[in-house]
């Protein structure tokens, strides 16, 4: 399917992809996919002070990580380039000439101003509806600068020129640009061009209702890329920031979002950002990973945290990681969760030590050690039977043995199934760790 729909993502490179930008490009991408249209990537780099190459790279990396491909733009083909504003000087000059010829600009202390038509401008927004802006007064709406005295262009002008030249049919962007839209419509008219359809998507707010800014927790896409999130989960979460399927499902396949996505259905009200929900959703996706991908991501997360897995037999690593599957939400939790498999000198959780490494537990842990030492088959079932029989002999609850044992062999009181992890660690390691703990126990 191909259509006349042409949308664009037009980021100003700032060094990283902001979650708001990621959501904007996602909605453009969804609309392009839904309609069979084209997504253009245009880098709005008129701010020459920044290092465009590197900052643009962060944008490509972010989009690629999210799995959002663009049809035209840098590192893609397209007949409407160049796709960097910094390379479009001649085009802007020719458009400025058009405005000059129509007597719509004047010089003002070295800068150039665009003369607004003094009239009402209606923005007929697909999402926000019909909004009237009264631009009659030059007091409240002074003529706008389109070029600074130093020759650099103002965003409004180059943005509109590019949207005309790139034949953009729908401008889908954050609601913070809604108030700019009447100015943009004035420029379209001055150029004799038909404005595109505008669709302003709701702002993303923090949980406390404040507008999300670059510095807020979870604002940079790097948080997710570096933090062990799955791109499909983050993308799913971003879909829900201002859109939802009718049945309010939260975990939803991208193909289905593409099928259902319509601009008219984008919410009018602001979207509340909830990192916990995104993290929860990630856990749902982790549960469904294929074995192969789970292992590969798990290994990456551990190696990133400094573990050298190559020193362990592959079967050992595999079995250890299998006990963690379904137990954590993001891969960055994994080294803390299962690091004990891959190092002996782990720290002991101080709260756990205070609670469980007490004098009355010494004979108990000793009894557990003896029971384990006597096992020929160090497998989960035998370990469970052995520990439970010991509890019965000592006339204590199973928990009274489980907690000190787990703390002794893993360093914490939460983790994979105890009997399975004991089996995987193997007799020698388990006994050595229990012996070390026994030395720490008073009494
Ligand atoms: N460079 C602008 C921004 O990042 C683009 C706005 C638009 O999409 O028109 O906010």
CATH code, 368: 1.10.10.350
Confidence (pTM): 0.93
Distance CA 201, CA 141 (A): 24
Distance CA 80, CA 265 (A): 30
Using CA positions, which residue lies closest to atom 4 of ligand 1? 11
How high is the pLDDT of residue 3?
84
Tokens of 386: 């052995």
Co-location of 405 and 389 in the same domain: yes
Q: How many CA atoms lie within 13 A of 137 on its CB side?
A: 4
- The catalytic residue among 207, 214, 265, 277 is 214
Section 143-157 average pLDDT: 97
Cβ of 8 less than 6 Å from ligand 1: no
Domain boundary among 323, 342, 361: 342
CA 95 to centroid of ligand 1, rounded, Å: 20
Cβ of 159 less than 6 Å from ligand 1: yes
Distance CA 117, CA 136 (A): 8
Domain boundary among 307, 324, 342: 342
Residue 354 sits at the vertex; the CA angle it makes with 351 and 360, to the nearest 5 degrees, is 140
Distance CA 345, CA 411 (A): 9
Residue 314: pLDDT band (50, 70, 90) is very high
Handedness of CA 252, 253, 258, 259 (dihedral sign): negative
Looking at every residue in the chain, the average pLDDT score rounds to 96
Whether 334 maps to a domain, the answer reads: yes
How high is the pLDDT of residue 133?
98
Tokens of 269: 């009200």
Give percent of the chain above pLDDT 70.
99
Query: Which of the 8 DSSP states describes residue 99?
Result: H
Domain that holds residue 312: 291-342
Distance CA 125, CA 133 (A): 13
CA 43 to centroid of ligand 1, rounded, Å: 9
Each residue of 395-423: pLDDT tens digit?
Answer: 999 999 999 999 999 999 999 999 999 99
Each residue of 160-213: pLDDT tens digit?
Answer: 999 999 999 999 999 999 999 999 999 999 999 999 999 999 999 998 899 888
Section 127-141 average pLDDT: 97
From the CA of 172, give the closest atom in ligand 1: 8
Question: Which residues have a Cβ under 8 Å from the Cβ of 88 and sit 6 or more positions away?
Answer: 82, 158, 161, 162
Query: Which of the 8 DSSP states describes residue 272?
Result: E
Whether 194 maps to a domain, the answer reads: no
Number of domains in the chain: 2
Cβ of 43 less than 6 Å from ligand 1: no
């Amino acid at each position: 399917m191909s259509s006349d729909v042409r949308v664009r993502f037009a980021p100003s490179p700032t060094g990283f992809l902001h979650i708001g930008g990621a959501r904007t490009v996602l909605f453009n991408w969804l609309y392009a996919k839904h309609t069979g249209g084209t997504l253009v990537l245009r880098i709005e780099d008129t701010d020459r002070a920044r290092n465009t190459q590197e900052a643009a790279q962060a944008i490509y990396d972010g989009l690629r990580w999210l799995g959002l491909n663009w049809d035209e733009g840098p590192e893609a083909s397209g007949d409407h380039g160049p796709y960097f504003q910094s390379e479009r000087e001649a085009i802007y000059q020719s458009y400025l000439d058009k405005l000059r010829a129509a007597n719509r600009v004047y010089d003002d202390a070295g800068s150039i101003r665009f003369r607004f038509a003094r009239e009402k401008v209606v923005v007929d927004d697909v999402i926000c509806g019909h909004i009237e802006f009264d631009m009659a007064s030059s007091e409240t709406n002074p003529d706008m600068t389109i070029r600074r005295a130093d020759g650099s262009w103002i965003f409004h002008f180059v943005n509109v020129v590019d949207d005309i030249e790139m034949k953009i049919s729908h401008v889908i962007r954050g609601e913070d640009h809604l108030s700019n839209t009447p100015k943009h419509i004035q420029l379209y008219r001055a150029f004799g061009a038909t404005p595109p359809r505008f669709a302003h998507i709701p702002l993303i707010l923090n949980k406390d209702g404040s507008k999300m800014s670059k510095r807020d927790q979870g604002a940079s896409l790097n948080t997710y890329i570096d933090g062990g999130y799955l791109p499909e989960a983050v993308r799913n979460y971003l879909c829900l920031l201002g859109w939802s399927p009718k049945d309010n499902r939260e975990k939803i396949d991208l193909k289905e979002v593409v099928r259902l996505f319509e601009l008219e259905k984008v919410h009018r009200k602001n979207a509340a950002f909830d990192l916990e929900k995104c993290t929860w959703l990630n856990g749902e996706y982790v549960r469904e990973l294929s074995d192969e991908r789970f292992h590969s991501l798990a290994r990456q997360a551990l190696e990133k945290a400094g573990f050298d897995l190559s020193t362990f037999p592959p079967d050992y690593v595999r079995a250890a990681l299998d006990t963690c599957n379904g137990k954590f939400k993001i891969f960055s939790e994994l080294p803390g969760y299962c690091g004990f498999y891959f190092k002996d000198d782990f720290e002991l959780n101080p709260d756990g030590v205070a609670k469980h490494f007490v004098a009355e537990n010494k004979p108990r842990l000793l009894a557990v050690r003896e029971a384990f030492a006597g096992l020929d088959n160090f497998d989960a079932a035998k370990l469970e039977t052995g520990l439970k029989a010991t509890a019965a002999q000592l006339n204590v609850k199973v928990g009274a043995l489980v907690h000190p044992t787990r703390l002794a062999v893993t360093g914490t009181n939460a983790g994979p199934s105890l009997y399975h992890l004991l089996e995987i660690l193997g007799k020698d390691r388990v006994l050595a760790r229990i012996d070390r703990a026994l030395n720490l126990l008073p009494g």
